[in-house]
Structure 1
Amino acid sequence: MRSLIFYGRTGRFTFRMLATVLGGQSICILLGALVARALAATDQGSGASTAHLWVGLGLGALCIVAAGLMRRPWGITLGWVVQGLTLLSGLVVPMMFVVGLFFLALWVTCLVKGGPIDAEMARREAAARQE
């Protein structure tokens, strides 16, 4: 897995796809935060419903921030942190494990396939400039 990076810059296509993954992930996390709040609110004697909501909202906001920072070298690292935190949110809402695995698979696929696509786009642009 040579093209699986944890820090650094990616090509234009790759960072756009990674930002799209994080944007979709933020929606799922925000909805998961509402589920976590509702589950905690139905539990008698649990005052954690508001905390679950705020932590989920924070993670959803972190997804949006990470999507905006994909052009920076450490944006990839922040995206990996978001993927890990999404998997950890499965401790509160078990179905978030499934959501986390789904978006982790999308994340890795975009990292692996994005590099060759960026290289092909650069090759085509260079060929078009020579004509």
Structure 2
Amino acid sequence: MERAMSLPADPEVPADRNPDETAPETQAVAATSAPRSVRASLASIVLGFELIVVFLAALVIWGLTPESGSAFGLPRWAPLVAGGVVIVLMIATIGLLRHRWAYLLGWITQALILLAGFLNPGMFFIGALFGGIWAYCMIVGERIDREKAAAVAAYRKELE
């Protein structure tokens, strides 16, 4: 049976090979790499959006800091440095989400953002908001991953 619609030829597929066949090197990579979990995807999305908010919040806190210094006797540039450290921590956490302990690093990041409320009370709201989103995504992502693993196991058992 012929296809109703013709797709353009892929320049990566040699002319003598069927484009529907998977290359052996692709099969090897597909067999060794596990699909990314829903939990990891949700965590990276939350941290990515939170990264933008922390950057902007650090600028706001720095801009609102009087010339004489900030709360707790910190220098005027302290909010920028603290924001930069938290941003670097978030970027590192996003990159390390393939490890189970990186989620603990994410929780620590959420706590640090909540503690930033002592520099500017508005950060209590931001920290609580993103902490709640983080908690929700961790709970739901883990549940979806468990259900997906059970479905895959049942499917494989059915194939046997």
* TM bin (shorter chain): 0.7 to 0.9
Counterparts of 1:13-32 in structure 2 under 5 Å?
Answer: 13-32=38-57
Counterpart amino acid of residue 44 in structure 2? A
Structure 2 gaps of 5+ residues are 1-35
Match for 1:18: what amino acid?
Answer: A
C-alpha separation in 2, matches of 1:116 and 1:73:
15
Q: Is the 8 A contact 1:35 1:93 kept in 2?
A: no
Matched residue of 2:97: which SS? coil
- Conserved 8 A contact 1:33-1:56: yes
Amino acid at match of 2:116: S
Q: Which structure 1 segments of 5+ residues have no match?
A: 1-10
* Larger CA deviation: 118-127 vs 81-90: 118-127
Cα drift, residue 128 of structure 1: 4.8
Distance across 1 between alignment mates of 2:94 and 2:54:
14
Letter in 2 for 1:21: V
**Higher normalized helix content (fraction of residues):** 1
> What residue number does 2:113 align with?
86
* Letter paired with 1:71: R
Query: Deviation string for 1:20-56 (max 9, x for gaps)?
Result: 111111111111110111011xx14227222211111
Q: Counterpart of 1:33? A: 58
The structure with higher relative contact order (CA 8 Å, sep 6+) is: 1
Q: Which amino acid aligns with 1:57?
A: G
Could you tell me whether the CA contact under 8 Å between 1:36 and 1:49 is conserved in 2? no
CA shift, 1:14, in A, is 0.7
Question: 1:46 corresponds to which residue?
Answer: 69
- Is the Cα contact below 8 Å between 1:26 and 1:61 reproduced in 2? no
Q: CA RMSD in A?
A: 1.9
CA contact (8 A) 1:36 1:92 kept: yes
Residue 126 of structure 2 corresponds to 99
Find the structure with the greater CA-based Rg.
2
